[in-house]
Amino acid sequence: MLGGIAAASAKFWNSVIPETGNPERGAFPMVIATWGPNIKANAAAWEILSKGGYALDAVEAGVRIPEADPSDTSVGYGGFPDRDGHVTLDACIMDEKGMAGSVSFLQHIMHPISLARLVMEKTPHVMLVGDGALKFALEQGFKKEQMLTEVAKKAWEDWKIESKYKPVINVERHDTIGMVAIDSSNRIAGACSTSGAAFKMHGRVGDSPIIGAGMFVDNEVGGAASTGLGEMVLRTLGSFLVVEEMRRGAHPQKAAEIAVKRIVQKYPKQSEEAQVGFIAVDKKGRHGAYAIQKGFNYALYQRNENKVYEAGYFLPDSK
Ligand code: ASP
């Protein structure tokens, strides 16, 4: 299928600039999230945004929805464990002032996104990991909880029979929530939370908690977030790239396409087998989304409508 990459490299496939109407009119508040099921997360964020609330509160509230949902097997409670059977969680958050907080390789905590916010607000640091992050959580009054559900345990036990780690495209194993919101006072915030790649090596950290990889916002420009095989986003600092392209004048759709194209051109072989998707929004309230493979969707709540849209994709003959 490498011919597909070569053909695709000649131009952007399935590139459609989303209709955003007059961005100046009624664009705010707005919230966008990776993956269709996160329409529920958007609704929680909207509760805050629609009352004139703060974008940072909105993204935190939104991301807490899949974190507590046991049926979402790639975020928070119910997330699939690593190959040793431990659920390890990653999250990050960023506000309109460019402040950021992040937790990674965190166990036993239901809402990593709220802990990431406290790292940002209550410590002089950006990132806490592992036991240090857990210690901070307990000091802040978080409860230690069992995050491995019976369903996730069973999936891990089934996986152990063959013990083959092969990333699968667009199944629940890759459903990280990345969210960007702009409130009615034009403040931009972003958040991201995941249990990472299912059955990963113990200690593996992906793109999601890394500021600039899994998520990035800059109030002067806009914001972006990613989902999919984190290693490819980490190597290209994907969300930062999207925001920087918007800074240079690209429409959010084009900016997302440039970041995907960068990944495919650098890692053509791996791209055949993997999915990466980006969502992007600029400070005018225009948005975009793009992925390597067909099948990436996103939820947008804007102008009182909360809807799921299919993203464009790079590979012409993707599955
Ligand atoms: N990006 C996440 C990671 O690599 C996984 C995902 O989006 O499904 O950890």
Q: What are 212-231's pLDDT values in tens digits?
A: 999 999 999 999 999 999 99
Q: Pick the catalytic residue: 34, 73, 88, 176?
A: 176
Does some domain include residue 318?
A: no
Does 130 have pLDDT greater than 70? yes
Does some domain include residue 263?
A: yes
Does 4 have pLDDT greater than 70? no
Does 166 have pLDDT greater than 80? no
Structurally, how many domains does the chain consist of? Answer: 1
**Residue 176 is among the residues annotated as catalytic for this protein:** yes
State in Å: Cα 13 to ligand 1 middle: 24
Does some domain include residue 22?
A: no
| C-alpha of 249 from chain center | 23
Q: Measured between alpha carbons, how far is 160 from 84 in angstroms, rounded to an integer?
A: 9
List the residue whose alpha carbon is closest to atom 4 of ligand 1: 230
> Domain span at residue 141?
2-17+27-161+170-313
Q: Measured between alpha carbons, how far is 123 from 139 in angstroms, rounded to an integer?
A: 12
* Between 223 and 319, residue with greater pLDDT: 223
Does 208 have pLDDT greater than 90? yes
Which CATH number do you get for residue 75? 3.60.20.30
Q: 175: alpha, beta or left, given left = phi > 0 and alpha = psi -120 to 50? A: alpha
Determine the angle formed by the axes of helices 2-9 and 252-266, rounding to 10 degrees: 140
**Long-range CB contact pairs, 44-47, < 8 A, 24+:** 45/179, 45/181, 45/301, 46/301, 46/306
Average pLDDT over residues 275-302: 96
Does some domain include residue 319?
A: no
Does 143 have pLDDT greater than 50? yes
Coil, helix or strand for 89? strand
Average pLDDT over residues 83-93: 97
Query: Does the beta carbon of 197 lie inside 6 Å of ligand 1?
Result: yes
Q: Where residue 10 falls among pLDDT bands split at 50, 70, 90? A: very low
266 C-beta neighbours (distance < 10 Å), count: 12
**Ligand 1 pocket check: which of 105, 174, 210 to mutate, most ligand atoms within 8 Å of Cβ?**
174
Closest CA to 281 of 149, 130, 178, 141: 178
State in Å: Cα 38 to ligand 1 middle: 15
Share of the chain above pLDDT 90, in %: 85
Closest CA to 227 of 147, 169, 152, 149: 169
First to last CA, the chain: 11
Does some domain include residue 85?
A: yes
Does some domain include residue 148?
A: yes
